[in-house]
Amino acid sequence: MGDKPFENSQILKGLCELALLSLLQGRAHYGIEILQRLRADAGIDIADGTIYPLLHRLAKADFVRSEWVIDEAGGRPRKYYELTPVGRAELALQVEQWQRLSGALNRFLSRTGK
């Protein structure tokens, strides 16, 4: 179970946004790269068709912005996404909420005969 991607769709929906915002805090990423990193690094088995609607919703909420970039080597253009200041504040809030909730749930789940 350790390296198997997380697959519970209801829980996954809530965690995808947090993981995506966290990924973008370091630098801008393009769509397929985001998808690959969420799968490989966060263990979230997100469907291909899920990432762009999520990015669109986050852009509409002003959490991310996008920019088309053309590779210097003449490659095809890619749309890169990065956090906005509003997105950074939202990430901080979601991290704090997640830590509080996961801590409480871990304590609850690890109780012994109480």
Domains with residue ranges and CATH for the chain: 9-109 (1.10.10.10)
Compute the distance between CA of residue 71 and CA of residue 46 in angstroms, rounded to an integer.
27
User: Which residues of the chain fall short of a pLDDT of 50?
Assistant: 1
Note whether 26 and 32 are within 8 A (CB): no
Angstrom CA distances, 15 to 49, 73, 78, 79, 111, stand at: 17, 36, 25, 23, 25
Tokens of 101: 């909730």
Res 1: pLDDT: 44
The pTM of this model reads 0.84
Res 73: pLDDT: 80
